[in-house]
Structure 1
Amino acid sequence: MLINFILLAQPPHALPLLLIIPFLLLIGMIAAGPIFFGHFWEHNYKTVAVTLGLAVLAYYLLVLQDYHMPVHTLAEYVSFAVLLSSLYIAAGGIYININANATPLMNVALVAVGAVLANFVGTTGASLLLIRPFIRLNVHRIKPYQIIFFIFIVSNAGGLLTPLGDPPLFIGFLKGVPFFWTLQHLFVPWLAAVSVLCLIFFLLDRRNKEHFRPNPDVEAKNREKTEWHVTGKRNLIWLGVVIGAIFLDPNVVEGLPYIAYDGGKLSFLREIIQLSAAFMCYRYSSKTALAGNQFSFGPILEVVFLFFGIFFTMMPALQLSAAIASAPEYARFITPNFLYWATGSLSGFLDNAPTYANFLSLAMAKYDMAQNSVVEVRQFALGTGPAGAETIVLLEAVSLASVLFGAFTYIGNGPNFMVKAIAESAGIKMPSFFGYVIRYSIPFLLPALLLVWFLVVHLRLF
């Protein structure tokens, strides 16, 4: 069904299909660069990403004379970069040390804690708080698969229960989906996905015995007691400020200052608060915590530059998917099964937040409902509109797919690349872009995605 849907599609009249090439080229270089021309890529990835992004931007401004898409993309990119940078700096000043032996059960317990924590501080916040302690805990037996399952569980699947958990769900909340809708409708899928991934992780980790030996620092202590030590606790306050500022959206909260553009309200107060909190974090961070975390700006700079290119080269791909989604002749395809796989397929390779917005719009258009109406989005989520409860299942499919499939590649969700960069800075040789997909996403993540689809979306057992 998805293949037929795509084959029938035509690109927007003013948008050449060839304009997608810079995005494909950038993704290809992210995948192949570290393997085939590592020295060049290491020293020139910033130039490549920025050049490709600016090339697409110039085409929009000078040839298409389209200012709407670039301005809103820039606003989204700035919000993305500021939030990730602020969380990175705040978490970098919080040193968490876990006195425990790195057993498979302990590792599973830690990522399970991260899956719960992600719903309170976001998948990005939970990932940045726990990835360094996770690496230190497993320092004698660290392997790439452990980092990847951390990405699967903490950086993505864990954030299904609240709008704070993952950007797509927060987009839905801003548009009118009730705050506790996710907890009510996605708890069982969250439990299933996290449990299956934890079980697979446990079974894989049990086989990692070659380099396993008890942590000598723990041997002298009581093995029965697991201890957590936190240095830099005051940064938790600034971390809370960064997360709390997320809600300061002028499109939702009346009275906030904003930049008016094209009938919309562009935020800047939120970003100023987050950057100020990040500065205070770094300025007054515990030197012990920064040293313990081996803090540097290298990983966040890599994310900021690469995602500049991704955001702007991605504009044609997003517009193409939106144009396809809005075509009335495709209404017959709009089923829960289609929405799950279509949303998921694009969420894995495009940013999952705009993909969520596009397919929410598509699902609502089937019933002549508009996603720019808070009242209609609420009716769609609660099943109180003209179509009844059928719309709830459609929203469940879009929500599940956009969050869970975000783990399918390094670029599906912001925290993925951040965790990869931190792991590589710690000396862990992470798989390439396609190595990640072929060796881990397809054999280990895909079965969990199939299980959630079959039980929740197809059979509708929950």
Structure 2
Amino acid sequence: MLTNYILLAQSMHSPPGFMIIPFLILIGMIAAGPLFFGHFWEHNYKKVAVVLALTVLAYYLFVLQDVHMPVHTLFEYASFAILLSALYISAGGIYININARATPAMNVALVAIGAVLANLVGTTGASLLLIRPFIRLNIHRIKAYQIVFFIFIVSNAGGLLTPLGDPPLFIGFLKGVPFFWTLQHLFTPWVIAVALLCLVFYLVDRRNKITDYEARPEVVAKADEETEFYVSGKRNLIWLAIIIAAIFLDPNVIDGLPHIAYDGNKFSFLREIIQLTAAFLCYRNSSKTALAGNQFSFDPILEVVFLFFGIFFTMMPALQISAAIASAPEYAKHITPNFLYWATGSLSSFLDNAPTYANFLSLAMAKYDMAHNSVVEVRQFAAGTGSDPITLTLLEAISLASVLFGAFTYIGNGPNFMVKAIAENAGIKMPSFFGYVFRYSVPFLLPVLIIIWYLVVELKLF
């Protein structure tokens, strides 16, 4: 996802404002469909997503005569869908079972482990590895809020420490931000965010008194015998490692890799071939016991692939219009850490957070006449040694917002929808799009985001 939407917006004619309507329709359908016309949505969401995406695509190709933006989006979507599918398949063959009493403390410990793991295998990898054992652990007391806090912590906030953690940070790494910059500058905000969310989760989970343990003493006896941790399908960990390692095979960073050259950009295909091959071999050789234990099916990943096909293509006008507006010279004076935190966060909540990161990194660097496509200048910007030392705070604001706000809606970050789909496939009734936002994100996540902003961006304490 390395598209420079700002340059595209400046070099092409920006689409008219009414072209964001298909995106709004799709978001509205995702939000309202399962709630008000569930039967129709369940059987037709693929058609709705594809038709809306092709409508926008046709407008770009035949009215705007803009091939560049669709091609960039296609490559980005392909990389996104292939990586997510490969991780889903490899993790689906790893069966993790935890025999323990599902107490609030145990749940917090599990999501905290997931927050650490997210920095090693990515938020997607950690989410897919742990969501099923998390559900099984709480099977007698599972509630939607537990899945939501899992999304907050494991699928988003946890991946703040390394470029492997979340796609926006990986984009920064590919552009020149040093690998350990996130660990050095975002460690304290990571601790604060994860600790606060874990604390809130613990307090909320303590109120969940409806447990099957009280009605079934034998469950208590078994859980209290010994805390056991069992893993089946360990060989899939090798395929998972291959899939994650392949992420680094980017022709824009490593010279000599085979690639598709278009419009001055190098688009990878070797990485995607490796990931697809690993996923195929992984599934073919997976333990049938592990797959059965995980109740593995392709339904959740198909839902994500189709819906995000619609999201990627219908959000093209929204990204391009916002980039064109933000890059106007009269707005340069407003490019402050506060603006970048809230603007990046707002767009990361409702658009994909990776291109949003790329947009605002380019915008922030342009203010200081620094080139986002220069590795040397990106490193200077990250070190705060550019024409103004505030550049360090600017990058911190962009990084924090793109990762943390990705949890605000189901579509802010790829793993969110994946976890939701897996939970629903397990029979858990998840909140609607707006139910997620107003019942959980606003009362629980937003205060944490405000605290991070005040301490890190406004007071610059860390």
Q: TM-score, normalised by structure 1?
A: 0.96
- 1:270 is aligned to 271
Contact kept? 1:238, 1:278, Cα under 8 Å: yes
- Supply the distance in 2 between the matched residues of 1:147 and 1:364 (Cα, whole angstroms): 37
Contact kept? 1:157, 1:403, Cα under 8 Å: yes
Q: CA 1:397–1:173 in 2, change beyond 3 Å: closer, same or farther?
A: same
- 1:35 is aligned to 35
- Supply the distance in 2 between the matched residues of 1:452 and 1:440 (Cα, whole angstroms): 18
Q: CA 1:312–1:218 in 2, change beyond 3 Å: closer, same or farther?
A: same
Contact kept? 2:99, 2:223, Cα under 8 Å: no
Alignment of 1:13-412 (within 5 A): 14-213=14-213, 219-220=220-221, 223=224, 225-387=226-388, 389-412=389-412
- 1:4 is aligned to none
Deviation of 1:326 after TM superposition, in Å, equals 1.2
Deviation of 1:219 after TM superposition, in Å, equals 4.1
Contact kept? 2:213, 2:220, Cα under 8 Å: no
Deviation of 1:337 after TM superposition, in Å, equals 0.7
Contact kept? 1:325, 1:358, Cα under 8 Å: no
- 2:4 is aligned to none
- Supply the distance in 2 between the matched residues of 1:280 and 1:213 (Cα, whole angstroms): 40
- Supply the distance in 1 between the matched residues of 2:133 and 2:27 (Cα, whole angstroms): 30
Deviation of 1:223 after TM superposition, in Å, equals 2.9
Q: TM-score, normalised by structure 2?
A: 0.96
- 2:453 is aligned to 453
Contact kept? 2:249, 2:271, Cα under 8 Å: yes
- Supply the distance in 1 between the matched residues of 2:13 and 2:217 (Cα, whole angstroms): 66
Contact kept? 1:99, 1:218, Cα under 8 Å: no
- Which SS does the other structure have where 2:224 is aligned? coil
Q: 1:293-333 CA deviation, whole Å, 9 max, x = no partner?
A: 00000000000000000000000001011111211110111
- Supply the distance in 2 between the matched residues of 1:290 and 1:206 (Cα, whole angstroms): 32
Deviation of 1:164 after TM superposition, in Å, equals 0.1
- Supply the distance in 2 between the matched residues of 1:319 and 1:353 (Cα, whole angstroms): 14
Contact kept? 1:45, 1:306, Cα under 8 Å: yes
Counterpart amino acid of residue 293 in structure 2: G
- 1:3 is aligned to none
Q: CA 1:362–1:217 in 2, change beyond 3 Å: closer, same or farther?
A: farther
- Which SS does the other structure have where 1:260 is aligned? strand
> How many residues end up aligned between the 2 structures?
453
- Which SS does the other structure have where 1:96 is aligned? strand
- Supply the distance in 1 between the matched residues of 2:217 and 2:146 (Cα, whole angstroms): 21
Gaps of 5+ in 2: 1-9
Q: 1:238-282 CA deviation, whole Å, 9 max, x = no partner?
A: 000000000000110111100111111111000000000000110
Taking every aligned residue pair, what percent have the same amino acid on both sides?
81
- Which SS does the other structure have where 1:348 is aligned? helix
Contact kept? 1:409, 1:441, Cα under 8 Å: yes
- Supply the distance in 1 between the matched residues of 2:323 and 2:63 (Cα, whole angstroms): 21
- Which SS does the other structure have where 2:77 is aligned? helix
- Supply the distance in 1 between the matched residues of 2:125 and 2:386 (Cα, whole angstroms): 36
- 2:413 is aligned to 413
Counterpart amino acid of residue 160 in structure 2: L
Q: CA 1:20–1:99 in 2, change beyond 3 Å: closer, same or farther?
A: same
Contact kept? 1:321, 1:358, Cα under 8 Å: no
Deviation of 1:217 after TM superposition, in Å, equals 6.8
- 1:6 is aligned to none
- Supply the distance in 2 between the matched residues of 1:428 and 1:447 (Cα, whole angstroms): 27
- Which SS does the other structure have where 1:98 is aligned? strand
Q: 1:118-169 CA deviation, whole Å, 9 max, x = no partner?
A: 0000000000000000000000000000000000000000000000000000
Contact kept? 2:168, 2:354, Cα under 8 Å: yes
- Supply the distance in 1 between the matched residues of 2:161 and 2:336 (Cα, whole angstroms): 23
Contact kept? 1:100, 1:218, Cα under 8 Å: no
Deviation of 1:220 after TM superposition, in Å, equals 4.3
Deviation of 1:225 after TM superposition, in Å, equals 4.2
Gaps of 5+ in 1: 1-9
- 2:6 is aligned to none
Deviation of 1:32 after TM superposition, in Å, equals 0.4
- Supply the distance in 1 between the matched residues of 2:321 and 2:14 (Cα, whole angstroms): 11
- Which SS does the other structure have where 1:194 is aligned? helix
- Supply the distance in 2 between the matched residues of 1:211 and 1:112 (Cα, whole angstroms): 22
Q: 1:143-198 CA deviation, whole Å, 9 max, x = no partner?
A: 00000000000000000000000000000000000000000000000000000000
- Supply the distance in 2 between the matched residues of 1:272 and 1:397 (Cα, whole angstroms): 35
- 2:3 is aligned to none
- Supply the distance in 2 between the matched residues of 1:21 and 1:124 (Cα, whole angstroms): 30
Q: CA 1:212–1:444 in 2, change beyond 3 Å: closer, same or farther?
A: farther
Q: 1:42-75 CA deviation, whole Å, 9 max, x = no partner?
A: 0000000000001100111111111111001000
**What RMSD in Å do the two structures reach over aligned CA positions?**
1.6
Counterpart amino acid of residue 250 in structure 1: P
Counterpart amino acid of residue 371 in structure 1: H
Deviation of 1:437 after TM superposition, in Å, equals 0.3
- Which SS does the other structure have where 1:447 is aligned? helix
- 1:7 is aligned to none
Deviation of 1:370 after TM superposition, in Å, equals 1.3
Deviation of 1:211 after TM superposition, in Å, equals 2.5
- Supply the distance in 2 between the matched residues of 1:276 and 1:216 (Cα, whole angstroms): 47
Contact kept? 1:115, 1:153, Cα under 8 Å: yes
Counterpart amino acid of residue 115 in structure 1: A
- Supply the distance in 1 between the matched residues of 2:51 and 2:429 (Cα, whole angstroms): 27
Counterpart amino acid of residue 17 in structure 1: G
- Supply the distance in 2 between the matched residues of 1:109 and 1:237 (Cα, whole angstroms): 26
- Supply the distance in 2 between the matched residues of 1:328 and 1:176 (Cα, whole angstroms): 25
Deviation of 1:226 after TM superposition, in Å, equals 2.3
- Supply the distance in 2 between the matched residues of 1:161 and 1:218 (Cα, whole angstroms): 38
- Supply the distance in 2 between the matched residues of 1:177 and 1:434 (Cα, whole angstroms): 35
